[in-house]
Structure 1
Amino acid sequence: MANKDLRDWIASVEKTGELKVIKGAETKEEIGGFVDIYMRKMGQPAVMFDEIPGYPKGHRVVANILTSVPRINLALGLPPETSEMELTQWWRRYFKDAPSHPTKAVNGGPLLDNVLEGPNVNIQKIPTPVWHELDGGPFIGTACLVVMKDPDSGWVNYGTYRVQSHEPNVASVMMSPGKHGLVIMRKYHERGQKCPVAVIAGMHPSMVMLGGIEIPYGKNELEAAGGILGEPVEVINMPKTGLPVPANCEIAFEGFIGPDDKIKEGPLGEWTGYYASGSDLEPAIRIETLMYRDNPILMGAIPAVPPNDNTFYFGAYRAGAIWNQLEAAGIPEVKGVWTHQAGGSRFMMVVSIKTLYGGHSKQAAMVAAHCHAGAYNNRWTIVVDDDIDPTNFDDVVWAMCTRCDPRDQVDIIDGGWSSALDPMCYDTQDDRRNSRVIIDACIPFRRKKTFPKVARSSRALDDRMRAKWAKDLPKGF
């Protein structure tokens, strides 16, 4: 195999001591129960489940995959010790350069170890957990890619949407309004045609990250993954739909979504920490082909109360994208951006700037709250001075408490871009909106020269202490 795959990443994670193997946990509640506990505190190891009751030994599930910075770094080919802000800068450079490699079609690969078609299709052969106690069933697609091809342009889109298992040959997919997969599916249905679809469940984690972020419309996520991996992603075409999937992925199935063919889906505990979207009729996938590797590994990125696998990696990417868009809008002297895991890496963002003129901080806040990378499900946008580390929540709250006068440094904006997963959204089913707060927690520009001095060592003194006393200072200082 030329390409790096999920198993390569797992091996590298294990070498760094970031993998926990658990044997004997069942799928109805124990695997989900384990994952919920492991996700409650950031930095816990990834968890591999083996010897799952009712399934052959070697049929495994891996979850809690990207809830630590070192594991995210390993997925992107970075040193494990890369910091959060360095990771944000990496995403900034990545999207400015946008490296990519066209996919490479091959004739075979490990995915072809097991090929089931027609009446032999049974996705229930794959151990698929009920991730939360109140979920409507097992979800085979959490860390997945849903593959569709635009009937007009031929563009192949790979999006991360939730996919529920219903019957041996039936699954469902839930896509929010505005998402690329829904746009493509509707093009087929408007013509009275079935929409071809494939689902990939278990692939290199870099592909999971790219499937869940705002890759521009018309861009191919596997080509972007090739830019991260440094080589073209090798693909095979599924036999019924012709949709390309990685030749070394763990599990893939294909089928068709008919017009008005829907099935009751959900609920699933989501990344906001709630069952906000409930249960509804969603598009049904009638499966015609199932493929999986020998000893397949189902990968889960489980939405839940933050921090969780759906939000942790997303914070660094989104911060980098917002930073780039602030600069593209002409906002000078941006020094840092962070989107906090407690808000699902969407509801709360912090921007650090060096203020140059009156209104500078308010201008930065307004742009950050409504640029493309920042607008979706945003609720709190906080701008702080450049002496505040936006990743340090204590520093951010201190700035809010001591530098913000609510009389003229707090604004509420109505009509923001939201979704059904936001428990506080309003308006209709197809037009979700929310309100959001802009907090200017910078020292008022008119008072910069007279504001009280900060009672903390200078950066110069910190540097002198680090040079002389490094072995006696706290780790990471």
Structure 2
Amino acid sequence: MELRSYVASLDGHGLLKRVSRSVDWKYEIGEVSRGEKDKAFLFENILDYPGYRLFTGGLSSIKLMALSLGFDLDISRRAFISKLRARIRDSIEPEYSLREDEREVWRDGRVNLYDLPVPWWSRTDGGRYIGTWHINVSKSPLYGKRNIGVYRMQVIGRNQTTVSVSPRSHLALHVAEAEGMGRDLELAVAIGVAEPVVMAAAAGVRYGTDEYGLAGAIAGKPVVLLRCQTVDLEVPEGSEFILEGHIKKTIRVQDGPYLDYSGIPSVNRNAFLFEVKTVSIRKNPLFRGMSVGNPGAEDHQLFSVLSSLGLTDFHGSSLRQLIQKFCLRNRLFKVFQLSGRVGLLKEIFKPGGSR
């Protein structure tokens, strides 16, 4: 179901906290929502951003995940994993929509990302993060294979964001291919998509696998795609916000500090620079994001499910990966955070690290 339908379903089941009072986008949204695991949040009155709403916490428990996938709300975690494993045995390929949905479109000089209700999630963050629960869409410029991922993005200018990736990520491979050809890489970002799409985008799959097919399998029906206006890419129909542009070749920028899954701030000094050319926005838009850093937060819950399905792809030593997967499958989230901190400290204190 589309994100809006899911929010309505949460509300109908008493699983949504509606916050109608004015809430500050700087720190307060993150502080209010952080730590809640039983219900999702809908912020309906964001300071400085009349007409915008923000949703977070949609997958913060097995019960909420079950609702998003049409499973029984009282399903056990074991049964949930079993049913989901059966669903994803066969990919369900996406379909394409020919209709145009009604949107406000900003182009070129009109683009101003500070006009969007992007939270400053944590006091330890270095700025406002527009990409925390979204999808990044790219294609291999050599082979045309599509990749859907979730890569954090910090707003650093009116039309610029960071895109923070690991060197082994599929997006990093696409950028390397484009740079080898002397080209920028086309990128689309969709914020406010159906939850199964984000689940698939966060999964660790083999290079060349189309995550939209996995998303269809997770949802039990095809993802319907729209073609972007200015780049040769596709995003889900019903996406609340669509950003189109290019990752600039050979340019690297600092991302962070950002409070990440390990519970401590991290910095990436080699993030990509994304230049946004077009923004399109649905009527009565619903922003989607998340506040990370707490053990057992929404990202941990999703990682735990994906790990149980064999769909995680952590980096580091084999021992560290084994520990992380064990912790996630057994929901030892504090130990999982500590294992992540070991990797961050190694990165910080190596020569040329992020000190």
Name the Cα RMSD after superposition: 2.8
Pairing partner for 1:317 from 306, 319, 327: 306
1:172: Cα distance to partner? Answer: 1.2
Pairing partner for 2:190 from 164, 189, 200: 200
Report what 1:189 is aligned to.
Answer: 179
Where does structure 2 lack aligned partners over 5 or more consecutive residues?
A: 333-338
Q: Tell me, what secondary structure is at the counterpart of 2:209?
A: coil
**Structure 1 segment 5-404 matched on structure 2, within 5 A:** 5-23=2-20, 24-38=22-36, 42-43=37-38, 45-57=39-51, 59-95=52-88, 97-109=89-101, 112-275=102-265, 277-321=266-310, 370=318, 377-379=321-323, 391=330
Q: Is the 8 A contact 1:105 1:234 kept in 2?
A: yes
Q: Distance in 2 between matches of 1:283 and 1:392?
A: 32
Q: Tell me, what secondary structure is at the counterpart of 1:289?
A: strand
Letter of the 2:274 counterpart: I
1:376: Cα distance to partner? Answer: 6.6
Q: From the superposition, tell whether residues 291 and 382 of structure 1 become closer, same or farther in structure 2 (CA, over 3 Å).
A: closer
Q: Deviations over 1:380-406 (max 9, x none)?
A: 6769xxxxxx8597xxxxxxxxxxxxx
Q: Is the 8 A contact 1:108 1:247 kept in 2?
A: no
Letter of the 1:55 counterpart: Y
* Pairing 1:422–2:336 present: no
Q: Tell me, what secondary structure is at the counterpart of 2:294?
A: coil
Q: From the superposition, tell whether residues 376 and 188 of structure 1 become closer, same or farther in structure 2 (CA, over 3 Å).
A: farther
Name the count of aligned residue pairs.
Answer: 343
Q: Is the 8 A contact 2:159 2:275 kept in 1?
A: yes
1:150: Cα distance to partner? Answer: 0.8
Q: Distance in 2 between matches of 1:430 and 1:187?
A: 25
1:425: Cα distance to partner? Answer: 4.1
Q: Is the 8 A contact 2:94 2:224 kept in 1?
A: no
Letter of the 1:11 counterpart: A
Q: Distance in 2 between matches of 1:310 and 1:28?
A: 21
Q: Tell me, what secondary structure is at the counterpart of 1:75?
A: helix
Letter of the 1:124 counterpart: Y
Q: Is the 8 A contact 1:157 1:219 kept in 2?
A: yes
Q: Distance in 1 between matches of 2:50 and 2:190?
A: 21
Q: From the superposition, tell whether residues 108 and 381 of structure 1 become closer, same or farther in structure 2 (CA, over 3 Å).
A: closer
Q: Distance in 2 between matches of 1:19 and 1:104?
A: 32
Q: From the superposition, tell whether residues 185 and 33 of structure 1 become closer, same or farther in structure 2 (CA, over 3 Å).
A: same
Q: Tell me, what secondary structure is at the counterpart of 1:284?
A: strand
Higher Cα radius of gyration: 1
Q: Distance in 1 between matches of 2:120 and 2:276?
A: 21
Q: Is the 8 A contact 2:160 2:274 kept in 1?
A: yes
1:75: Cα distance to partner? Answer: 1.8
Q: Tell me, what secondary structure is at the counterpart of 1:12?
A: helix
Q: Tell me, what secondary structure is at the counterpart of 1:422?
A: helix
Query: 1 or 2 for the larger relative contact order (CA 8 Å, sep ≥6)?
Result: 2
1:136: Cα distance to partner? Answer: 0.8
Q: From the superposition, tell whether residues 245 and 420 of structure 1 become closer, same or farther in structure 2 (CA, over 3 Å).
A: farther
Q: Distance in 1 between matches of 2:273 and 2:325?
A: 38
Q: From the superposition, tell whether residues 381 and 218 of structure 1 become closer, same or farther in structure 2 (CA, over 3 Å).
A: closer
Report what 1:355 is aligned to.
Answer: none
Q: Distance in 2 between matches of 1:261 and 1:160?
A: 20
1:424: Cα distance to partner? Answer: 4.8
Q: Is the 8 A contact 1:377 1:419 kept in 2?
A: no
Q: Distance in 2 between matches of 1:27 and 1:265?
A: 20
What TM-score results when the alignment is normalised by the length of structure 2?
0.88
Q: From the superposition, tell whether residues 89 and 139 of structure 1 become closer, same or farther in structure 2 (CA, over 3 Å).
A: same
Q: Deviations over 1:408-454 (max 9, x none)?
A: xxxxxxxxxx97883354696899xxxxxxxxxxxxxxxxxxxxxxx
Q: Tell me, what secondary structure is at the counterpart of 1:119?
A: helix
Letter of the 2:278 counterpart: T
Report what 1:456 is aligned to.
Answer: none
Q: Distance in 2 between matches of 1:225 and 1:244?
A: 14
Q: From the superposition, tell whether residues 430 and 245 of structure 1 become closer, same or farther in structure 2 (CA, over 3 Å).
A: farther
Q: From the superposition, tell whether residues 227 and 382 of structure 1 become closer, same or farther in structure 2 (CA, over 3 Å).
A: closer
Q: Distance in 1 between matches of 2:48 and 2:138?
A: 33
Q: Is the 8 A contact 2:163 2:273 kept in 1?
A: yes
- Percent of aligned positions that are identical: 25
Letter of the 1:5 counterpart: E
1:11: Cα distance to partner? Answer: 1.1
1:300: Cα distance to partner? Answer: 1.1
Letter of the 1:283 counterpart: F
Letter of the 2:53 counterpart: R
Letter of the 2:26 counterpart: K
Q: From the superposition, tell whether residues 378 and 196 of structure 1 become closer, same or farther in structure 2 (CA, over 3 Å).
A: same
Q: Distance in 1 between matches of 2:43 and 2:4?
A: 14
Letter of the 1:278 counterpart: V
